[in-house]
Amino acid sequence: MGLMNRLFRRSPSKNQHRVTREAETPITEVRASPLDVGQASDIGNARETNEDAFFTLQALAGTSAQPVPLALLMVADGMGGHARGEEASSIAVRVASGVIVREVLLPMLASRPAEATSRPVHDILGEAISSANEAVSQIEADTGTTLTSALIVGHSAYLAHVGDSRAYYLDRGELHQITQDHSIVNRLVQLGQISADEAHSHPQRNYLYRAVGQGAELQSDTYLQRLAKGSYLILCTDGLWNEVTEQEIVDVVGTSVSSQEAANRLVDRANDRGGEDNITVLIAKISY
């Protein structure tokens, strides 16, 4: 009873007690999507171009009484002169999402589930990032991008990450930062050499020690995040987290009626605070 079988076939009891399962409202009767994805990206107030890029894709195969929601979310924050940053981030998300669609989604549609699930998901996500790395490396030596991606399958989110964009998990008012910034300043904070406040204004706060498009060897960080019912997965670029506090993120998301509204309001909030950088926010709400 593999994962992909569950995606497209009727599965045996998901819950321990059949009684409770029947008592639960079947997903097919829920009017709103079980997985509500919102996205917003803005140039901000200070920049001339938006060098952020993003990708969202969500799917729900409705052939089963218990469809497994799927989603793919990605943000990238490019850097480099002469509009190369834009090119880097958009190429990175296109190439990386292409790999995941090819390696995961297409085999599922072609009813070759074994193909999709025989490879470790971190390998697939890692390949997505290394392919993006190769593509971006070909643009120009001084071009790079961050890349943070999340593949949601049911209650599991598989993440791969390079750079200082972030993924957060928000559950019952608690915001947890899943990813670690690949910035020198973040390392200094971890070591207790500087405080979080000092990091905020550190002259080298933007210096990354790892990014997509900077040479042959690139190691991405990978994570598995369990998603509880009612929780949110949030991906964003530093244009959000540099301007908006974690508490504000919690408040805005908690008081928005949809993921889209939350994403829009977070972008607005970042602009209100200055909008020094491009801002991109993706939010997925898990209602199942």
Partner 1 sequence: MPPPTSGGIIESAQTAATVSSLLGVRWTMSASDERKGLLERLKAAREPDSDADSSAEEPLASAPDQALPGGEQPVSKPAPDSDGSAVAPEAEVHRRTEEDFLSPGERLQNRYEIRKFLSKGGMGAVYLARDIRFPSVEKLVAVKEMISTIRDSVTSRISLETFEREANILASLSHPAIPKVFDYFHQERRVYLVIEFIEGTDLESLLAEIDYPLPQEKVVDWAVQACDVLFYLHNHKPSPIVFRDMKPSNIMLRQDGHIVLIDFGIAKVFQAGKRGTMIGTEGYSPPEQYRGIAEPRGDLYALGATLHHLLTKRDPRKEPPFTFHDHPIRGFNPTVTPELEAVIGRTLTYEIEDRYASTEELKKDLLRVLRPTSGMLSTTFSQPLTLHDERNPLWSFSCEDEIRCTPAISENALYLGSYDKSLYCLEADTGTERWRYSTEGGVVSSPCVWNETVFFGSEDQILYAVFTRTGRIVWTCPTDGKIRSSPKQEYDHIFFGSDDHNVYAISAKSGQELWRFDAGAPVRSSPAISGEFIVFGSEDGSVHALDVQSGESRWKYQTGRALQSTPTIAGDMVYVGSRDSSLYALDLANGWPVWRHRTKGQVISSPMVVGKVVYFGSNDHNIYAVDADKGNLIWKYSTKGPVVSSPASSDGATYVGSADGNLYCLDAKTGEMLWRFGTGGPITGSAVVGNGIVYVGSTDHTMYAVSIEAGD
Residues that bind partner 1 (CB under 8 A): 1-3, 6, 12-13, 16, 46-48, 51, 79-82, 84-85, 114, 117-123, 141-144, 153-156, 158, 182, 184-185, 187-188, 191-194, 202-204, 206-211, 214-217, 221-224, 226, 276
Measured from the CB of residue 64, what is the shortest distance to partner 1 in angstroms? 14
Pairing of strands 147-153, 52-59: unpaired
Please, which residue, 207 or 245, has the CB nearer to partner 1?
207
CA distance 160 to 13: 32
Measured from the CB of residue 287, what is the shortest distance to partner 1 in angstroms? 17
Please, which residue, 16 or 63, has the CB nearer to partner 1?
16
Phi-psi region of 53 (alpha: psi -120 to 50; beta: other; left: phi over 0): beta
Terminal alpha carbon distance of the chain? 21
Please, which residue, 24 or 123, has the CB nearer to partner 1?
123
Measured from the CB of residue 118, what is the shortest distance to partner 1 in angstroms? 8
Measured from the CB of residue 257, what is the shortest distance to partner 1 in angstroms? 29
Please, which residue, 37 or 185, has the CB nearer to partner 1?
185
Tokens found for residue 114: 């074994």
Please, which residue, 28 or 118, has the CB nearer to partner 1?
118
Measured from the CB of residue 12, what is the shortest distance to partner 1 in angstroms? 5
Measured from the CB of residue 58, what is the shortest distance to partner 1 in angstroms? 18
- DSSP secondary structure letter of residue 255: T
CA dihedral 149, 150, 151, 156 (to 10 degrees): 160
CA dihedral 209, 211, 213, 215 (to 10 degrees): 40
Q: Where are the alpha helices (DSSP H) in the chain?
A: 3-8, 18-23, 84-100, 106-109, 113-118, 121-137, 184-190, 196-201, 238-241, 246-254, 259-272
CA distance 78 to 219: 18
Please, which residue, 123 or 174, has the CB nearer to partner 1?
123
Please, which residue, 189 or 252, has the CB nearer to partner 1?
189
Measured from the CB of residue 92, what is the shortest distance to partner 1 in angstroms? 14
231 Cβ neighbours under 8 A, 6+ residues apart: 169, 170, 171, 172, 285, 286
At 198 the three-state DSSP class reads helix
